Amino acid sequence: MKARVTVTLKAGVLDPQGQAIEGSLKGLGFPGVSSVRQGKVFDLVVDGTDEESARSQIASMCEKLLANTVIENYAIEITN
């Protein structure tokens, strides 16, 4: 089973990298960009065919390693 985990910074957590990217986009002349937040994407292949058990297993991976839940949120998407 294939899954995609998206990790993003929580609202209110300063994202200097996102701000720098936003500045660069403006420098390239792209108008109307009012905010950029940078995150991470993990593409996983996990054994099994049961979507619910895969979701709960991946949620545990997020809590323990893939995300730092002090500053980050995560979202799990089954992609196959």
In the complex, the residues that contact other proteins under the rule CB under 8 A are: 13-14, 16-17, 20, 64-66, 68, 70-71
Smallest distance, other proteins to C-beta of residue 55, A: 21
Q: Calculate the CA dihedral of residues 8, 68, 42, 54 and round it to 10 degrees.
A: -110
Q: To 5 degrees, how large is the angle CA 76–CA 77–CA 80?
A: 145
When the beta carbons of 1 and 61 are compared against other proteins, the nearer one is: 61
Distance of CA 71 to the CA centre of its chain: 12
Going along 1-80, which residue ranges are E strands? 2-9, 39-45, 72-78
When the beta carbons of 20 and 75 are compared against other proteins, the nearer one is: 20
Dig out the tokens for 51 from the structure.
Answer: 């979507």
Smallest distance, other proteins to C-beta of residue 47, A: 21
When the beta carbons of 17 and 50 are compared against other proteins, the nearer one is: 17
Smallest distance, other proteins to C-beta of residue 31, A: 24
